[in-house]
Amino acid sequence: MLIKTRQAFRDHDVTDPAIFQSRRVLLKAMGLAAAAPWTLAAATQTRQSIADANAVTPARLVEQYNNYYELAFDKESVAQLARHIAVEPWQIEIAGEVEKPGLYRLEDILRDHPRQERIYRLRCVEGWSAVIPWLGFPLADLLKRAQPLSAARFVKFTSAAQPEAMPKLRAGAMLDWPYVEGLRLDEALHPLTILASGMYGRDLPKQNGAPLRLVVPWKYGFKSIKAIVKIELTRRAPLTSWSRYAPSEYGFYANVNPAVAHPRWTQTSERVLGSDFFTPRRKTELFNGYADQVGQLYSQMDLNHFF
């Protein structure tokens, strides 16, 4: 199974030079090797058929098929519209229940937190999936820098709001802007949770969330908020954008779970991005295949509910 192995991590397992160039190294975040003896598995592309659900998804597909509702409601026009988003200069505000609130320049964050390569499966709540090699660092590292207070229980994330570059903000369409997402603090501190500033060996394209986005691989993709400008630690769970818009369809937790259907469609299987009508759908796995790593976070919860 992709990304769930005890084998050694080798450079030639990770990167096919025909796809991208990368110098990323063995993942060792928050003492992960000691706490949970696993490493990221090899996911090679080479000449494998797109029917191989564990192959890295071609970059051109991931860059041209995007949900970014600040820009458009269809996926195909997002890449073109995203060109107008301003990503320099960029800073992240860290606020709330922390010892050291403040504004952090992106260049300082990336200097202090070297990027690692993480190959994760992204599972969209709409029923499709892709395997993406991200470049990022553990969110926990940045939160530790701000020193969370004992009262902190949740983490609230806020996206950039640029009405001049984002047509749906000007129109006041659909969601309440800016886009807001959230995690429990223990989810945010988990070693799998990263802040990504790149993919496929290069910086993030704007349509994929540049310059900095969240990636939480065991949750549906709408939890992995793009273009983050603020991170706030809170005592109570934040009201997230999709939960506000349709609480019966998009819960706060949004963990991938094939046993619990979305109110309007099943979640038992997924279409691998780039596959055609004749390609069998992939069976969806609990927690998107990361149950061994994150299942203990929800041991006291009833997993028969979407939320």
Q: Is 206 annotated as a binding residue?
A: no
Cα–Cα dist 268/127, whole Å: 9
Q: Is 224 annotated as a binding residue?
A: yes
What pLDDT is attached to residue 54?
85
Give the confidence band of 52 by pLDDT, cuts at 50, 70, 90. confident
Cα–Cα dist 89/294, whole Å: 35
Mean pLDDT value of segment 171-183? 95
Q: Is 226 annotated as a binding residue?
A: yes
Residue 14 has pLDDT above 90, yes or no: no
What pLDDT is attached to residue 305?
74
Q: Which two tokens stand for residue 122?
A: 């992204």
Sheet holding 180-184, edge to edge: 102-105, 91-96, 228-234, 154-159, 180-184
What pLDDT is attached to residue 180?
98
On whether the CB atoms of residues 116 and 193 are closer than 8 A, the answer is no
Q: Is 159 annotated as a binding residue?
A: yes
Tell me whether residue 184 is exposed, middle or buried, using C-beta atoms within 10 angstroms of its C-beta: 0 to 12, 13 to 18, 19 or more.
middle
Domains and CATH numbers, the chain: 46-298 (3.90.420.10)
pTM: 0.85
One-letter identity of residue 117: E
Q: Is 129 annotated as a binding residue?
A: no
User: Residue-wise over 256-295: b if at least 16 C-beta within 10 A, else e?
Assistant: bbeebeeeeeebeebbbbbbeeeeeebebbbbbbbbebbe
What pLDDT is attached to residue 197?
98
Q: Is 255 annotated as a binding residue?
A: no
Mean pLDDT value of segment 147-163? 98
Q: Is 83 annotated as a binding residue?
A: no
For the chain, percent of residues with pLDDT exceeding 70 = 83
pLDDT in tens, 107-151: 999 999 999 999 999 999 999 999 999 999 999 999 999 999 999
Mean pLDDT value of segment 224-237? 98
What pLDDT is attached to residue 27?
33
Residue 22 has pLDDT above 60, yes or no: no
Map tokens 């505000």 to a residue: 93
Q: Is 19 annotated as a binding residue?
A: no
Q: Which two tokens stand for residue 291?
A: 């149950």
